[in-house]
Structure 1
Amino acid sequence: MLLLSSLSMVHWLVISNVMLLIATIVGFVLVKRKYESDQKVWKQQTDKLRHDFEAMNKSTFGMGRCVKKLEQRLVESERKPALATSDEALYQQAQRLVGMGASADDLVSSCGVARAEAELLVSMNRQVAH
């Protein structure tokens, strides 16, 4: 009877070890599947983030070019009124000088207008005066 009970005990030890081994293998397979599933999700999320980053990078670059063009247009538009205002002031000064009797040579030297423009201003002033 002692032999039978000890055989039975060995039998139970083998069965329990086999069951423990099977449970370990099943657990390992389940953990591996979960890891692979998580890894697939992480890869998809990483790919989406990379795609979004590249799209934002391209749009930022495009917006940078647009901003640069707008800045150039703004600088150009700010220069034009300044040039027009300074030209206008020169011609007003030239008109005053002509009204005081300045010659075309005087206008060229003091106002920096072209000779043809200076002669035209002097001629127009004479016609108005007559």
Structure 2
Amino acid sequence: MASLSLMHWLLIGNMVLMSLVGAFMFSLRRQQQQDTGRLDEAVQDLQQAHQAMSKSTIGMGRRIKQLDGRMQQAERRVVLPGTDEATYHQASRLVGLGASATDLVDNCGMARGEAELLVSLKRQPSH
């Protein structure tokens, strides 16, 4: 058997080294593809969660807007001057300050019977 020259040994060594580098690169590429697949799945999961939260937030915003509108309507009903409720509220407060039935008729525009009834109800001694 003929002995191999240094040149042959270098060529064989280079081929072995290139084969090892190729196998390593193939392994890295495969690992990269697996990682990319996992990352794609994670991104999809995050996108779905984001969409769900966005829909939920929009729904909550609509609900808050509805409740705010209802609250404003309720406040307008209670606060509007000139309504019967506002008149009775003011008359009740005046009676608490000592106003008479005549004062209520003059200042609140109430009927005499209503004013007398309100005064008598507010001034009854509590048991």
TM-score, L = length of structure 2: 0.64
Runs of 4+ in 1 over 3 A off after TM superposition: 92-95
User: Which residue number in structure 2 is paired with residue 24 of structure 1?
Assistant: 21
The alpha-carbon deviation at position 62 of structure 1 amounts to 0.4
Structure holding more helix per residue? 1
Unaligned runs of 5+ in 1: 98-109, 112-117, 126-130
CA displacement, residues 18-48 of structure 1 (integer Å, 9 cap, x when unaligned): 1011111101101101111111111111111
The alpha-carbon deviation at position 77 of structure 1 amounts to 1.5
Q: Which has the higher contact order (CA 8 A, sep 6+)?
A: 1
Task: Tell me how far apart the structure 2 counterparts of residues 68 and 93 of structure 1 sit (CA, whole Å).
Answer: 45
CA displacement, residues 37-65 of structure 1 (integer Å, 9 cap, x when unaligned): 11111111111111111111111100000
Does residue 1:37 correspond to 2:34, yes or no?
yes
Unaligned runs of 5+ in 2: 92-100, 115-127
Identity over aligned residues, as a percent?
A: 27
The amino acid across from 1:67 in the alignment is I
User: Which residue number in structure 2 is paired with residue 96 of structure 1?
Assistant: 105
CA RMSD of aligned residues (A): 3.0
Superposed, 1:1-130 pairs within 5 Å as: 7-83=4-80, 84-88=84-88, 89=90, 96-97=105-106, 121=111
Task: Tell me how far apart the structure 1 counterparts of residues 58 and 66 of structure 2 sit (CA, whole Å).
Answer: 13
Q: How many pairs align? A: 100
Rg larger in structure: 1
